[in-house]
Amino acid sequence: MKEKTVYICEKCGMEFPQQYPEGYDLCQEHEKTHINPIGYDPVKAISFQPTDTYPSYIRVRMTDGEMRGYWIDPMIEEPTEAKEKPSATGNSIEG
């Protein structure tokens, strides 16, 4: 029996079937090309409805310096175990 290792980008799922170290290195370099949010500017949380706790539109700064806007779908919610402020859990993306 033979074993085959495939390296997979954790962000987009692209596969790198090359052997180690080539496949590993290619995957690492590829993952660095994805742009991520680096911070959240509360001033840019610009759209709230009267009954909203959270904004319905935010602007987020990315690692390449660009600002991108995102509409939030209020129907999509991730379950939370405890209601805590993000800064209290260490999960804040404030920059």
Give the model confidence (pLDDT) of 57-87 as tens digits.
788 888 888 888 888 776 666 666 655 544 4
Nearest one of 59, 56, 49, 60 to 75, comparing CA atoms: 56
Fill in the DSSP letter of residue 42.
G
The residue ranking higher by pLDDT, 60 or 48, is 60
> Which region, left, alpha or beta, applies to residue 46 given φ > 0 means left and ψ of -120 to 50 means alpha?
alpha
What is the CB neighbour count within 10 angstroms for residue 78?
Answer: 4
The residue ranking higher by pLDDT, 17 or 51, is 17
- pLDDT at residue 45 is higher than 70: no
d(C-alpha 83, C-alpha 94), whole Å? 18
DSSP 3-state percent helix, strand, coil across the chain (nearest 5): 20, 20, 60
Q: What is the mean pLDDT of residues 9-19?
A: 92
User: According to the model, what pLDDT value does residue 92 have?
Assistant: 40
